[in-house]
């Protein structure tokens, strides 16, 4: 059973790390602010989400709840920050 | 398993560092905010990996702290941008 | 080289690079953003140094509150359009020389450590069980060096008095001039309604857990202050007038309780700031709870700035 769990951890953490790379590449290569914001949100939800998913089997159940809460908090602030930045860009242009 | 998780945290750190430098070379304020956001999320991921790798649960509290404060730089930025524009309109 | 030291080397290189660019960048906004990034990285460094208490403080202060304070200052200097006094070459050279002196002193201290590094850590760990606390940092702060902690909180109040003393006479006792969001924004209001409940629970948890694990009054108070400021900035609530009695009461509640228990120590335990045997932990938890509230209000009012408008009757 623990082998299955370890394989799950390895797969999910690697996939999450890859999403960090994808998000960074997106931030570097995408042409304008709004598309870059789109790349950034993938890091918040999928990158961190997969890493948290991968860490869950390695922790006690109480700590696992905390890990999920951390992910939800980052989701919340990530979504709000993206909205706020996008709103500022629409109003004032990219130089804010 | 711990060394694998540490390896993943090094990977995330390097990726975030790469993104950080490329973004910070741009001059727009909005791009800099995105750099903060990227590092905030990357920092949370690194801390969670470190917490599980070193079996130190209190490190998760540091990650919660970062997550709670993740939005504050952007909130301050849009607040000041909104204040500047309303002053410019003569309100 | 082990995998942990690869991480450490990468982290240190990144911190040095970000620190250098914080100094070299010319725009104030960019420098503040770099400084926030620097604070985030430092908190990871503190975790690597096994100082989770410091990491928590750095994450809250360096990553959150400082950004809010400094970005507000940048916006204010932009709207007031201060040119700033021209700094001549002699002053710059003198600054450079003094900085170099400090760096040299630090370098000497770091490169030539004494053979046996003086430490009181074993003594602390030996005497800690008597206090009933589990966190050695809380032990040092509230048992062994309680006087320092008490004075530190008084310094916070003095800093607040310094900010308030910038108020013009007509605004004294009035509302702080905290910049709020100019128009009501549904996204920001959503965040200000959803985040504070979680933050308040976490702030209380920080204060409570501080006796046993990393955490404590300062970390908890900072979280509470930040949540309060978020609600004010989103326009859901107004910043209180500084003349309000409840505000002043909360500000002094922590230090006064600490001082009262300290003075009672003379009667019940033969020394100032000593705790009677067996009562150390409950007394410390009570002081921490009161300090958490006082720190939250003090930090919140520090960030809110000096009063600018007279109180509406």
Interface test with C, best of B61, B85, B88 (most C CBs within 10 A): B61
pLDDT at B88 over 70: no
pLDDT score, position C56: 92
| pLDDT over 90, % of chain B | 33
Whether A47 has its CB under 8 Å from any CB of chain B: the answer is: yes
The answer to whether residues C276 and C270 touch, using CB atoms and an 8 Å cutoff, is no
Residue with tokens 């709020």: C180
Give yes or no for B22 touching A (CB within 8 A).
Answer: yes
Across the interface, of B1, B30, B38, the residue whose CB is closest to A43 is B38
Which residues make beta-bridge pairs with C309? C175
- pLDDT band at B89, cuts 50/70/90? very low
Q: Is the pLDDT of residue A37 over 50?
A: yes
Residues 72-131, chain C: which have Cβ within 8 Å of B? 72, 74-75, 78-79
CA distance A20 to chain B (A): 7
Closest CA to B42 of B67, B21, B24, B22: B67
**Cα–Cα separations (whole angstroms), residue C226 to A19, B3, C180, C202:** 31, 36, 14, 12
Per-residue pLDDT of chain C (313 residues; tens, 9 = 90+): 688 889 999 999 999 999 998 888 888 888 888 899 999 999 999 999 999 999 999 999 887 888 888 888 887 777 666 566 677 889 889 999 999 999 999 999 888 877 887 788 888 888 888 777 878 888 888 888 888 888 988 999 999 999 888 888 887 877 887 766 666 788 888 999 999 999 999 999 998 888 888 888 889 999 999 999 989 888 888 888 888 889 899 999 999 998 898 888 888 877 888 888 778 888 888 888 999 999 999 999 988 888 877 765 4
CA distance C250 to C254: 8
Distance from CA of A80 to the nearest CA of C (A): 6
The domain spans of chain C are: 1-79, 132-313
Q: Which residues of chain B have a CB within 8 Å of the CB of C4?
A: 6
Question: Among positive and negative, which fits the CA dihedral C57, C63, C66, C69?
Answer: negative
Would an 8 Å CB–CB cutoff place C219 in contact with chain B?
yes
Of residues C174 and B67, the one with the higher pLDDT is: B67
Q: Is the dihedral of CA B8, B9, B14, B17 positive or negative?
A: positive
CB count within 10 Å of CB C82 equals 9
Which residues of chain A does C185 touch, with a Cβ-Cβ cutoff of 8 Å? 84, 87
CA distances, B30 to each of A90, B66, B81 (Å): 11, 20, 11
Report yes or no: A76 at the C interface, CB cutoff 8 Å: yes
> What's the CA dihedral at C73, C77, C79, C82 to 10 degrees?
170
Q: How many CB atoms lie within 10 A of CB C278?
A: 9
Asked whether the predicted pLDDT for residue B81 surpasses 90, the reply is no
Instruction: Quote the CA–CA distance of C75 and C77 in Å, as a whole number.
Output: 6
Whether residue A15 lies within 8 A of chain B, CB to CB, comes out as no
CB A16 within 8 A of CB A51: yes
Contact C190 A80 (CB under 8 A): yes
Q: With contacts defined as CB-CB under 8 Å, which chain B residues touch A95?
A: 27-30
A interface mutation test: which of B52, B54, B73 has the most A CBs within 10 A? B52
Full-model pTM? 0.88
Q: How far is C171 from chain A (nearest CA, A)?
A: 32
Quick one: tokens of B84? 């500047």
Q: How many domains does chain B have?
A: 1
Strands C307-309 and C175-176: antiparallel
In this prediction, residue C46 carries a pLDDT of: 94
Q: Which residues of A touch C187 (CB under 8 A)?
A: 80, 83-84, 87
Provide the token pair at C78: 């932009």
Residues of B in contact with A88 (CB under 8 A): 30, 77-78, 81-82
**Contact yes or no for C17 and B46 at CB 8 A:** no
What DSSP string runs through C205-228? HHHHHTTTSS--HHHHHHHHHHHH
What would the two tokens of residue B2 be? 């711990």
Q: Are C34 and C16 in contact (CB under 8 A)?
A: no
User: pLDDT at position C85, please?
Assistant: 64
Domain ranges of chain A: 2-92
> What pLDDT score was predicted for residue C313?
45
Q: Which chains touch A (3 or more CB pairs under 8 A)?
A: B, C
Q: Are C48 and C7 in contact (CB under 8 A)?
A: yes
Is the CB of B78 less than 8 angstroms away from the CB of C29? Answer: no
pLDDT in tens, A48-96: 999 999 999 888 888 999 999 999 999 999 999 998 888 888 877 655 4
What residues contact C289, with CB distance under 8 A and at least 6 apart? C207, C217
Report whether pLDDT(B6) > 60: yes
Q: What is the mean pLDDT of residues A19-34?
A: 87
> CA of B7, closest CA in chain C: separation in Å?
7
At residue C55, the pLDDT reads 92
- Smallest Cα distance from B22 to chain A, Å: 7
Give the residue numbers spanning the domain of B24: 2-88
C187 to A73: CB separation less than 8 angstroms, yes or no: no
User: B79 to chain A, minimum CA–CA distance in Å?
Assistant: 10
Distance from CA of A1 to the nearest CA of B (A): 15
């Amino acid at each position: 059973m623990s082998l299955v769990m370890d394989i799950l951890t390895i797969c999910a953490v690697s996939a999450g790390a890859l999403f960090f790379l994808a998000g960074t590449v997106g931030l570097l290569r995408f042409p304008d602010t709004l598309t870059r914001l789109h790349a950034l949100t993938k890091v918040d939800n999928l990158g961190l989400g997969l890493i948290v998913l991968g860490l869950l089997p390695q922790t006690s159940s109480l700590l696992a709840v905390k890990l999920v809460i951390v992910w939800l908090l980052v989701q919340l602030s990530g979504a709000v920050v993206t909205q706020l930045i996008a709103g500022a860009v629409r109003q004032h242009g990219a130089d804010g | 398993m711990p060394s694998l998780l540490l390896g993943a945290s090094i990977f995330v750190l390097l990726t975030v560092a790469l993104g950080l430098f490329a973004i910070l070379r741009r001059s727009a304020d909005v791009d800099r905010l995105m750099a903060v956001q990227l590092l905030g999320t990357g920092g949370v991921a690194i801390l969670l990996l470190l917490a599980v790798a070193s079996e130190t649960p209190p490190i998760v509290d540091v990650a919660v702290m970062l997550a709670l404060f993740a939005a504050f730089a952007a909130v301050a930025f849009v607040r000041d941008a909104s204040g500047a524009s309303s002053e410019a309109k003569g309100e | 080289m082990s995998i942990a030291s690869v991480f450490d080397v990468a982290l240190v290189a990144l911190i040095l690079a970000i620190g250098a660019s914080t100094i070299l960048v010319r725009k104030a906004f960019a420098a503040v953003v770099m400084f926030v990034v620097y604070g985030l990285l430092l908190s990871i460094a503190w975790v690597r140094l096994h100082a989770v208490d410091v990491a928590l403080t750095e994450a809250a202060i360096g990553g959150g509150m400082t950004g809010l304070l400094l970005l507000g200052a940048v916006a204010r200097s932009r709207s007031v359009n201060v040119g700033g006094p021209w700094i001549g070459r002699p002053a710059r050279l003198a600054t450079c020389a003094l900085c170099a002196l400090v760096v040299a002193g630090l370098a000497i201290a770091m490169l030539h450590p004494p053979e046996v590094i003086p430490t009181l850590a074993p003594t602390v760990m030996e005497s800690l069980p008597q206090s009933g606390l589990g966190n050695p940092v809380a032990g040092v702060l509230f048992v062994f060096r309680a006087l320092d902690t008490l004075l530190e909180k008084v310094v916070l109040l003095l800093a607040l008095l310094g900010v308030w003393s910038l108020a013009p006479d007509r605004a004294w006792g009035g509302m702080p001039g905290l910049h709020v969001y100019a128009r009501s924004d549904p996204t920001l209001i959503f965040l200000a309604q959803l985040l504070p409940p979680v933050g308040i629970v976490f702030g209380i948890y920080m204060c409570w857990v501080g006796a046993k694990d990393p955490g404590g009054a300062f970390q908890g108070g900072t979280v509470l202050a930040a949540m309060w400021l978020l609600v004010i900035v989103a326009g859901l609530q107004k910043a209180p007038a500084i003349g309000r009695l409840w505000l002043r009461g909360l500000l002094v509640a922590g230090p006064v309780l600490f001082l009262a228990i300290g003075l009672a120590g003379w009667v019940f335990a033969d020394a100032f700031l000593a705790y009677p045997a067996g009562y150390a932990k409950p007394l410390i938890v009570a002081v921490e709870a009161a300090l958490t509230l006082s720190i939250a209000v003090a930090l919140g009012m520090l960030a809110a700035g000096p009063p600018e408008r007279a109180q509406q009757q």
